[in-house]
Amino acid sequence: LEKRETYAKTEKNGRIGGDESRIHVFVRLRPMAKKEKEAGSRCCVKIVNKKDVYLTEFANENDYLRLKRLKGRHFSFDASFPDSTTQHEVYTTTTAELVEEVLQGRNGSVFCYGATGAGKTYTMLGTLENPGVMVLAIKDLFTSIRQRSFDGNHVVQLSYLEVYNETVRDLLSPGRPLVLREDKQGIVAAGITQYRAYSTDEVMALLQRGNQNRTTEPTRANETSSRSHAILQVVVEYRVKDASMNIFNRVGKLSLIDLAGSERALATDQRTLRSLEGANINRSLLALSSCINALVEGKKHIPYRNSKLTQLLKDSLGGACNTVMIANISPSNLSFGETQNTLHWAYRAKEIRTKTSDTNEEVIEISETGTDQAKLLLELQKEN
Ligand code: ADP
Ligand code: MG
């Protein structure tokens, strides 16, 4: 608690000490489902002050001071959303700021984490009536671009991919698996469709179509697999002229990630971890938990290379990026174990420190009146 209070004091816009920031972690509780009610479940999650999450094991457990002292029964996050929270509120609190940053040429990523059925896809994609973070972010992006009197040119490009069984697939034009390779911008899926987007209207339809292309479990034909990770990448490229008429090229990348179901895969003790690894349950999620552990423990070597997902998330977890994690949970006591596990990992993710994102900006042309500094930059670029 003491540590948290220190952060609250030194933190400015989520930054600590200027060049370091941490992953911002949020929790979203979904409403009780009909099925859960019918199974006679009761609510075992209590959110207090939009921040603290308490897990109650018994029906009349209301002594929060006592719960606070029990291990694994009380957690505190940047914000915790009760089941009445709207999609818009979730978007505004978690992601709106990142959209602004992307326009400034910084990278950002948001990932949803939690057991199958906890509300990840609802939060990320949503429905036609209640669009989620992915759609609201793109809508906001277009509004921002339109509202400002920019003197430059914006290009917004979308790509949507899936990681399933260590295979990367293009959700916008399904076909052969894609190969990951490293370039200037980090790890990219070679040959992925870059969809030029001009308005929000087309985006929801596009993403829904993409989601239908997600791998389905052979036994449950209509349900998308709980083992598929979906990643939407939005790249915003902007050419801007400064006061001295120098032209800069600015690129920002926003990654929005709907992770596979965390059930079983993120066991907390090493023995279960290993046996699951043998069974090859979800290599990518296991690798994610190893990376989180290594980052929290301040290890030199972070095992990003162990899976496709962690390769793709490398610059979101340890690199220069503004990162947000939304942990989704069910209110039902029948999911007590899963919920506790999700909260445990989300809480741990709070300890990760990332470098603050640099602006991806370069001088590409200098006017006659260009400053000496800009000229120097251009010289340096030529030399490289
Ligand atoms: P996940 O992607 O984590 O497996 P879903 O997002 O598919 O879970 O959610 C499971 C079900 O619960 C869906 O029918 C979804 O519409 C519903 N649901 C999830 N979160 C909410 C919410 N906040 N409000 C209303 N319904 C929700
Ligand atoms: Mg889902």
pLDDT digits (tens, 9 = 90+) for 34-55: 999 999 999 999 999 999 999 9
Q: Model-level pTM? A: 0.84
User: What whole-number distance in Å separates Cα of residue 202 and Cα of residue 207?
Assistant: 9
Q: Judge whether residue 150 has pLDDT over 80.
A: no
Query: Given the CA of residue 85, which atom of ligand 1 is nearest to it?
Result: 23
Q: Judge whether residue 60 has pLDDT over 90.
A: no
Mean pLDDT of 329-336: 96
- Of 8-17, 112-121, 139-148, 233-242, the one with minimum mean pLDDT is 8-17
Our CA angle for 194, 195, 201, nearest 5°, is 160
Question: Confidence band (pLDDT; 50, 70, 90) for 354?
Answer: low
Name which residue sits closest to atom 5 of ligand 1, judged by CA: 119
Specify the pLDDT at position 358.
Answer: 57
Specify the pLDDT at position 219.
Answer: 57
Interstrand relation of 186-189 and 195-196 (parallel, antiparallel or unpaired): unpaired
Q: Which of 308, 337, 288 is nearest to 23 (CA)?
A: 288
Q: How far is the CA of 120 from the centre of ligand 1 (A)?
A: 7
User: What whole-number distance in Å separates Cα of residue 49 and Cα of residue 53?
Assistant: 9
User: What whole-number distance in Å separates Cα of residue 201 and Cα of residue 204?
Assistant: 7
Phi, psi of 124 (to 5 degrees): -80, -55
Ligand 1 pocket, mutate which of 30, 35, 215 (most atoms under 8 A from CB): 30
More confident call, 101 vs 352:
101
Q: Judge whether residue 357 has pLDDT over 60.
A: no
Specify the pLDDT at position 186.
Answer: 74
User: Token digits for 45?
Assistant: 């999650």
Percent of the chain with pLDDT over 70: 77
More confident call, 350 vs 346:
346
Percent of the chain with pLDDT over 90: 40
Q: Judge whether residue 258 has pLDDT over 50.
A: yes
Question: Confidence band (pLDDT; 50, 70, 90) for 360?
Answer: low
Name which residue sits closest to atom 11 of ligand 1, judged by CA: 117
Ligand 1 pocket, mutate which of 122, 282, 335 (most atoms under 8 A from CB): 122
User: What whole-number distance in Å separates Cα of residue 203 and Cα of residue 128?
Assistant: 11
Mean pLDDT of 159-175: 91
Name which residue sits closest to atom 9 of ligand 1, judged by CA: 119
Mean pLDDT of 319-344: 91
Q: How far is the CA of 49 from the centre of ligand 1 (A)?
A: 23
CA atoms within 13 A on the CB side of 15: 11
Specify the pLDDT at position 110.
Answer: 94
Mean pLDDT of 300-306: 89
Output the average pLDDT for the chain: 80
- Of 223-232, 256-265, 358-367, the one with minimum mean pLDDT is 358-367
Ligand 1 contacts (CB < 6 A) are 30-31, 33, 114, 116-122, 328
Specify the pLDDT at position 292.
Answer: 79
SS3 labels along the chain: CHHHHHHHHHCECCEECCCEEECEEEEEECCCCHHHHHCCCCECEEEECCCEEEECCCCCCCCHHHHHHCCCCEEECCEEECCCCCHHHHHHHHCHHHHHHHHCCCCEEEEEECCCCCCHHHHHCECCCCECHHHHHHHHHHHHHHHCCCCCEEEEEEEEEEEECCEEEECCCCCCCECEEEECCEEEECCCCCEECCCHHHHHHHHHHHHHCCCECCCCCCCECCCCEEEEEEEEEEEEECCCCCEEEEEEEEEEEECCCCCCCCCCCHHHHHHHHHCCCCHHHHHHHHHHHHHHCCCCCCCHHHCHHHHHCHHHHCCECEEEEEEEECCEHHHHHHHHHHHHHHHHHCCCEEECCCCCEEEEECCCCCCHHHHHHHHHHHHC
Contacts of the segment 286-292: beta carbons below 8 A, 24+ positions apart: 288/259, 288/313, 289/265, 289/345, 291/317, 291/318, 292/317, 292/345, 292/348, 292/349, 292/352
Per-range mean pLDDT, top range of 58-62, 206-210, 317-321: 206-210
Specify the pLDDT at position 18.
Answer: 44
Tokens 């290379």, located at residue = 305
Looking at the CA of 328, name the nearest ligand.
1
- Of 224-233, 275-284, 344-353, the one with minimum mean pLDDT is 275-284
Mean pLDDT of 256-285: 62
Q: Judge whether residue 364 has pLDDT over 60.
A: no
Mean pLDDT of 378-384: 43
User: Token digits for 212?
Assistant: 């239908």
